[in-house]
Structures are given as C-alpha cells and as structure tokens.
Amino acid sequence: MSNEHLAWHETLEIHELVAFQSNGLMKLKKALAEIENQDLIKLYKTAIEGITSNLMELLQFYPDMPREETNGENWTEAREERRSPGFHAGDLLGLAKTSVRNYAIAITETATPEVRQVLKKHLNNGVDLHARVFHYMEKNGLYPAYDLEKLLTGDVQLARKALKE
C-alpha cells in the first residue's frame, strides 16, 4: 500500500459493504434450512460462498483503515449484548438505503409523469424511513456514526459472527 492508511471515503464504502453483506450472509444461512428445492439450495450455497469470500477479502483492509484513539471502552461486548435489535435495525437500515438507491435509479428511467410522481413520493418516503431508522440506531447505541473506531470494530465483529454461523 502506497499510503499509511486507506482513504476515508473508501474506508466508509468498505464499511457499508461489510455491514450489508454480513447481515445478508446471516439471513441466507438461516433461510437455507427452510429451503427444499435443490436448485434454489445450490443458488443459496453459491451466494453464501461468494459473500463469505467477499467478507474475508474486505476484512483484510481493516488494519489499514484510518483510526482515531479510543477511550478504552469495550464497544464489541456492549454491541453483542444488543445484537438482536442491532441486527434487525441494521437490516432495516440496509433495506431503506437499497430502496432509496433503487428508486433513484428507477426515476431516471421513467417517461410517464404520473409514474415519476409516484416514484418520487416513494423515494422521499424511503429517505424518511432511512433517517428514522438511523436515528433510532444512533439513539440506542447501535450505530456509532461519529466514532470511526467503534464503527469499524463493529464491522469486524459482525462479519466474523456471520462467517462463523
């Protein structure tokens, strides 16, 4: 690596990818037990293997991410105690974010004004939902958005948990 650490913007993009894929991996693994169709099982296993590989590769960049000094609190243990609400809120946050992105793209493809109007309304609702979920998570200590060290530590913990399950 040519610099002493990764750039801030790429650090945050990797954070988004790791958080989203970790939640997705846990959901895929849990759902796999309920699937009976062999072709669908193969697809799920392929997705699980791919996401597992992605996470393992992305986790290799965490030591090179910029860090701030911490005050010594063990955020990893605190987060584990709140895992269930954090997992579900994080999943909802990812869904809201993905919806916003998808609606923004869909709007650029519309030719009919009435369709565009409905999609813009849905986009705004998605933005509002994302904000509400984010503020819930922040208020409850589930998303340390202003503490990069805690954010990255949580990513590593979540990814390791997803890889173990």
| CA distance linking residue 2 with residue 153, whole number of Å | 24
* Per-residue pLDDT of the chain in tens (165 residues, 90 and over written 9): 667 888 887 888 898 888 888 988 999 999 999 999 999 999 999 999 999 999 999 999 999 888 765 444 444 444 444 446 877 888 889 888 988 998 899 899 988 899 899 899 999 999 999 999 999 999 998 888 888 888 889 889 989 988 987
Q: Is the dihedral of CA 6, 70, 19, 143 positive or negative?
A: negative
Q: Where exactly are the structural domains of the chain?
A: 1-82+145-165, 84-140
Let me know: does 76 contact 157? Beta carbons within 8 Å. Answer: yes
Confidence at residue 30, expressed as pLDDT on a 0 to 100 scale:
92
Confidence at residue 68, expressed as pLDDT on a 0 to 100 scale:
65
Exposed/middle/buried for residue 129 (C-beta within 10 Å: 0-12, 13-18, 19+): middle
**Closest Cα partner for 149 from 2, 10, 15?**
15
